[in-house]
Amino acid sequence: MTTAKSATTAKGSKHRAIEVAKLLAVEYPDAECALKFSNPLQLLIATILSAQCTDVRVNMVTPALFKKYPRASAFAAAKRADLEKAIQSTGFFRAKAKNIQEACRILADEYGGEVPKSLDELVKLPGVGRKTANVVLGTAYDIAVGVVVDTHVSRLAHRLGLTKQKDAVKIERDLMAQLPQKEWVNFSHRLIHHGRRVCTARKPRCEECILNALCPKIGVKEKTATAGTAPARAITKRASVAASRR
């Protein structure tokens, strides 16, 4: 049963989510996926490789990889040992090579080498969960079916009081409920940027953060959660820019 208090709280976090999205849009108008790719297949492979690995590392590996294996059929026909060697530095390379090869076999056999455009089809591919499917659909096809929840989105959604959930699928559901669908793709790109640059895992820089004034800083130790006064002027200024663009 929804109590008056929980309804108010839900309304409050929805309002906050929308304000967060507006401020992030001002701060990071051009935020995009950090993985380098030139077609949906490359983005799918790069996203599989990015599990437990930095995007920087993946971007170091993929140019040679995509040159060597330009199509799904080429990945499918590769010698497993060669593929493992090519992606070794991204970690968990045996499991990743197996998943990439099996996924590419399905793409080559059932989809003419193309990456399908539906969540249901994508999550049936080996090594592809909702997060990877959301990245591919949102970034390569501009189809918003969900919000990408990675480690940054998860951490920031908690600190910002937008979710209390731990499970990525439930966090995604909370964020989807609080934001209009047209915001889903850009919101996650921008939150990831903000998590890398300002609201880092170890030391969130609250005093420099554009979201400071509206962030409840849940779980952030007081020492790091400085409710800045001088920077608050910059925040207010940015907020008014956001308001003028609405």
Write the single-letter amino acid at 190.
R
The 138-167 contact track toward ligand SF4, x by CB under 6 A, reads ------------------x--xx-------
Residue of 98, 124, 205, 238 that binds ligand SF4 (CB under 6 A): 205
Q: Which residue's CB is nearer to ligand SF4, number 140 or number 153?
A: 153
Helical residues (DSSP H) of the chain, grouped into ranges:
4-27, 40-49, 55-68, 72-77, 80-87, 93-110, 119-122, 130-135, 151-159, 168-178, 184-197, 230-245
Examine residue 23 and tell whether it contacts ligand SF4 (CB under 6 A): no
> Would residue 131 show up in a list of annotated catalytic residues for this protein?
yes
Residue of 41, 198, 235, 239 that binds ligand SF4 (CB under 6 A): 198
Is-contact 13 215, C-beta < 8 A?
no
C-alpha to C-alpha distance for 34 and 190, rounded to whole angstroms: 11
Examine residue 18 and tell whether it contacts ligand SF4 (CB under 6 A): no
Residue of 152, 168, 212, 239 that binds ligand SF4 (CB under 6 A): 212
C-alpha to C-alpha distance for 7 and 105, rounded to whole angstroms: 48
Cβ within 8 Å of residue 171, ≥6 positions away? 149, 153, 154, 157, 163, 165
Residue 122: exposure state from Cβ atoms within 10 A (0-12, 13-18, ≥19): buried
Q: Which residue's CB is nearer to ligand SF4, number 5 or number 166?
A: 166
Q: Which residue's CB is nearer to ligand SF4, number 88 or number 224?
A: 224
Q: Which of 36, 55, 124, 150 is catalytic?
A: 150
> Would residue 221 show up in a list of annotated catalytic residues for this protein?
no
Q: Per CB under 6 A, which region of 73-81, 95-103, 142-150, 197-205 contacts ligand SF4?
A: 197-205
Spacing of C-alpha 132 from chain mean position: 9
Catalytic residue numbers, as ranges: 131, 150
Give the interface with ligand SF4 as residue ranges (CB under 6 A).
156, 159-160, 198-199, 204-206, 209, 211-212, 215, 217, 220, 225
